[in-house]
Structures are given as structure tokens and as C-alpha cells.
A = this chain, B = another copy of it.
């Protein structure tokens, strides 16, 4: 194994580590809402700087590898893709922070209804994040395609949550402030799944050079 191969392996590991931290932030943010645990929410907010630091660290490492190793073709494409992917991961971290902020607000008021669809959406979104990064590291386009397909489920659940909460608001306008905040949480999770989809599309683009990023949903099937 050359030095550069070793460095590339370490870069991949670092990306997976960042993914694991982001995934944990998403899990904890939603748990802080479902379990009404505002201390946990505050921990998510405080820990966001770790995700940001990993983003900068990976970015710097990529720049260094390009400058010093002068990688060509496949490796260069992998490194530039990695730089874009960590930007998506960093934004997922910001969304986890947004969820935690809404959780703190919601935990101060009486519970509106038990959370059912939101934990379901979260599980799907977290699986998408994990698999998109696995697909990157293993170069597995089929897994990446599968991630893209799952995005529809999250979108549907988000619409379902929105409609249900709208019904609450119309029936009883005193629920508006709480219900609105819950629709925001649902929307944040949907956006996390969108970022995972973006990552998966970039993985495919990176491996196959195909314009999957820019196919219409029906063409993707």
C-alpha cells in the first residue's frame, strides 16, 4: 500500500466518523423531542461545533491531498466529491440543531399528541445517511440508488404529518404554536433525507460519471 492509498483510506474513515456523529445528533435531537428531554436537546446544540470542526478538518485534508499528491482521474474525483459530501453532512448537523431547538420549545408546553410518524421518518432518514456514506466508501451504486428511492417515503410521511397537524390547528386554533413547531421538525427531517439523497446522487456521479443528479424522478426508477 502506498502512502497515498493509506491517506485515502484514512480520509474515508474520517468521513464515516463524521457521518456517525451526524447520525447520532439526528437520533438525539429527535429523542429529546419524543422523550421530552431538554438536557439532551441542549447537548445536541452544544455538540454541533464538533461536526463543524470535522467538516473543516476533512476539507483541509482534501485540499492537502490534492496539493501534495496530485491525484488524477478516479482519486481526484473521489476527493472533490468528499469535499461536497461533508458540506451536506455539516448541513444535516445544522438541521439536527434546529430540531433540538424546536424540541426545547415544545417540551415547555403540554404534549399535543404522541409522536408516531416523526420517529418513523427519522429512522428512514438515518438509514439513508448511513447507507449513502457506505455506498461512497464501498463504491456501491446499487446501495446509492436504494437510498434515492427511500426519499419518497420520507416525503410522504412529511405530507401526512403536515395534514394531520393542520387538522389539529383548524379544529382548535389554540394548538397552532405547538403544531407549527412540529411541522417544522418534520420538515427538517425531510431536508435531512434530501441531503442524504444528494449524497447518494453524488456517489453515483462519482462512480459512474452518469448524470443521475439531473434525471427526473421517473427516469431514476
Given A84-B84, A214-B56: A67 and B63 within 8 A (CB)? no
Report if A170 contacts B (CB, 8 A): yes
A80 partner residues in chain B, CB cutoff 8 A: 62-63, 66, 80, 83
In this complex, what residue of B is CB-closest to A77? B63
Docked Cα-Cα span, A213 to B49, in Å, equals: 11
Q: How many copies does the complex hold?
A: 2
Instruction: Determine if A107 is an interface residue (Cβ-Cβ < 8 Å).
Output: no
Would B169 and A52 count as touching, CB distance under 8 A? no
Distance between Cα atoms of A21 and B73 in the complex (Å): 30
Q: B residues within 8 A CB of A66?
A: 66, 76, 80
Closest 4 CB pairs of A and B: A52-B214, A170-B173, A70-B70, A84-B87
User: A residues bordering B, Cβ < 8 Å?
Assistant: 49, 52-53, 55-56, 62-63, 66-67, 70, 72-73, 76-77, 80, 83-84, 87, 90-91, 162, 166, 169-170, 173, 176, 180, 187, 198, 211, 213-214
- Could you list some 22 contacts between A and B, CB below 8 A? A49-B214, A52-B213, A52-B214, A53-B214, A55-B214, A56-B211, A56-B213, A56-B214, A63-B77, A66-B66, A67-B72, A67-B73, A67-B76, A80-B80, A83-B84, A84-B84, A84-B87, A162-B180, A166-B169, A166-B176, A170-B170, A170-B173
